[in-house]
Amino acid sequence: MMHAASATEEGRRFELEGACLWGKVLGSGRPVLLLHGVTANAYVWEPVAELLSGSMSVVAVDQRGHGRTGPAPDSDYTAAAFARDVAGIAAAMGEPLLVVGHSLGARNAVEAAARYPGTVAGVVAIDFTPFIEPPVLETLGARVAAGDRSFADLDEVRAYLRRRYPLLPDVGIQRRALYGYCKTAGGQLRPLADPEAMRQICAGLADDLAPALARMHVPGVLVRGASSALVSPEAFRRTQRLRPDLPAIEVTGADHYVPEERPAAVADIVLSFADRFSGERANNRVAGEG
């Protein structure tokens, strides 16, 4: 597995097995990796990253098939491939990572923790759990596929995004418009997210996540947007029954897109989790010395 990382003018490239991931790195301190949802990119994490960067070394990446990373050379968009990427970034950073994932990113964080426990120190899984109902995932797939289209200009993109993400603040809509699309030779705008990758990813989200979550032996937190259309209350309750040891938090004033709609709440959850985890590690060391 290759783990070399190179700096670029606008970000950092992580040379990994089967993919070269683009990422943003800021701050200093305990490393935290931010993983976005399907069709998104590292920029959607900007408000959260800025709040965390005062005390943490924040890495936000464009996952394979997305953003400035683009299609994976190995065309592998399975959960195993995404988990391998997380392990590769941890190796490049030189220590286990606290992984904060939203939606697809939450699935990938859990899979990485289950498959590569030595590379993941803890997981904050936001609005993706086992037990999501099949019709809900089918609706997500159709919605993602409908976004594979051309737009005349940024105004048309923003209007489309406003309809698709009604609770996002205007700055969030603007961020997605500016950083999620590229201009074609004909002057139109198209999504950076690769359509074939999105198709495969959406199909893979239907795979059963329960076994991975059950064997995840690092600390974790489960987060749901209180108005989420993806993670139903029943799916969240079933997940809590599967892992009653993991704190479960519902964030009010948010649907599925919690990090963009309630960034301060997400940053508080991450910082509180990191503090608690650090305290537990310190107590364990003291107990071991005694």
Q: What angle do CA 49, 50, 54 make, to 5 degrees?
A: 105
Catalytic residue, candidates 127, 194, 228, 255: 127
**Closest by alpha carbon to 235, among 143, 140, 127?**
127
Q: Measured between alpha carbons, how far is 224 from 102 in angstroms, rounded to an integer?
A: 10
Q: Measured between alpha carbons, how far is 174 from 168 in angstroms, rounded to an integer?
A: 10
Handedness of CA 91, 38, 106, 201 (dihedral sign): negative
256 is catalytic: yes
Q: Give Cα separations from 118 to 170, 243, 267 (angstroms).
A: 40, 20, 24
Catalytic residue, candidates 36, 66, 102, 256: 256
Catalytic residue, candidates 76, 85, 102, 103: 103
What is the DSSP annotation of 192-230?
SS-HHHHHHHHHHTTS--HHHHHT--S-EEEEEETT-SS
Which residues are tagged catalytic? Answer: 103, 127, 256
